[in-house]
Chains A and B, each alone.
Chain A
């Protein structure tokens, strides 16, 4: 119930392409869904986040799509660039609790 399942584990996309990472959850009490980006040898940093009252949130080339009925959300990176090569983690939280539940991560490589 507390798990967040993330796929794929790794992804290779050509420069200019669209990267798509998917996450699914079971706990319907989750009400906050952030994505974190991690470069090698660094800690993760918040990239973008969404609440279930909207179906989509866009910030620049990064978009979260949220499907409440399917309990799924995804990250889309448009016009992917080599600088986007990183590990991406989805996460979920039940607001009011102090813990984030993280997915297992997706290693993205954008080839030049």
Chain B
């Protein structure tokens, strides 16, 4: 089955702790994205990557970090600098969004603070 796999589905973070959300895709897509979803605020872009070993900050990158060492993988680390991390995190991929190819989303990770 082709698609995007996010894990874990639920994650709890203790204060001062860094946590990493996994995102893997087998769609052979070049571009990958991380969005944060909060009630009433829509989808806000955290980071995106158009090619391996390259990524750009989105609109709300502070307190987050990413890597893109493999085409298939785009993990997101929520650092202790992110003071309000509780949210639903969505990973997405596309062929090339610049040609209006659609985004494929994973099923998300719900992150909560203990």
Q: Within the assembled complex, what's the spacing in Å between the Cα atoms of A45 and B50? A: 20
Central interface residue in A6, A32, A46, A98, by most chain B CB within 10 Å: A98
* Contact with A93, one of B100, B105, B108 (Cβ below 8 angstroms): B100
Interface positions of A from 34 to 91, Cβ below 8 Å from B: 34, 36, 41-46, 49, 89
One of B41-49, B62-70, B74-82 at the interface: B41-49
**Total residues of chain B contacting the partner, CB 8 A:** 26
Cβ of B103 under 8 Å from chain A: yes
For B105, the chain A residues whose CB sits under 8 A away are 42-45
In the complex, are the beta carbons of A43 and B100 less than 8 A apart?
A: no
A25: Cβ under 8 A from any B Cβ: no
Shortest Cβ distance from residue B110 to the other chain A in the assembled complex, whole angstroms: 9
Whether the pair A98, B42 counts as a contact (CB closer than 8 A) is no
B45: nearest residue on chain A (CB-CB)?
Answer: A99
Contact indicator A99/B108 (Cβ below 8 Å): no
Known: A95-B99, A98-B98. Is A6-B92 also a contact (CB below 8 A)? no
B90 contacts A95, C-beta separation under 8 Å: no
Q: B31 on the interface (CB 8 Å rule)? A: yes
B98 touches A43 (CB 8 A): no
A41–B40 CA distance with the chains assembled, in angstroms: 16
Q: How far is the CA of A49 from the CA of B100 in the complex (A)?
A: 10
Give residues of chain B (78-114) contacting chain A, Cβ–Cβ below 8 Å. Answer: 90, 92, 96-100, 102-103, 105-108
Chain A hits for B99, CB < 8 A? 95
Residues from chain B with a CB closer than 8 A to the CB of A97 are: 98
Q: Which residue among B90, B96, B98 has the maximum number of chain A CB atoms within 10 Å of its CB?
A: B98
Asked if residues A100 and B103 are in contact (CB atoms below 8 Å), the reply is: yes
The contact sample of 28 A-B pairs, CB cut-off 8 A, is: A6-B42, A9-B40, A41-B107, A41-B108, A42-B107, A43-B105, A43-B106, A43-B108, A44-B43, A44-B105, A45-B105, A46-B103, A49-B100, A49-B102, A89-B43, A96-B98, A98-B31, A98-B50, A98-B97, A98-B98, A99-B48, A99-B97, A100-B103, A102-B35, A102-B42, A102-B43, A102-B44, A105-B40
A residues lining the B interface (CB < 8 Å):
6, 9, 32, 34, 36, 41-46, 49, 89, 93, 95-100, 102-105
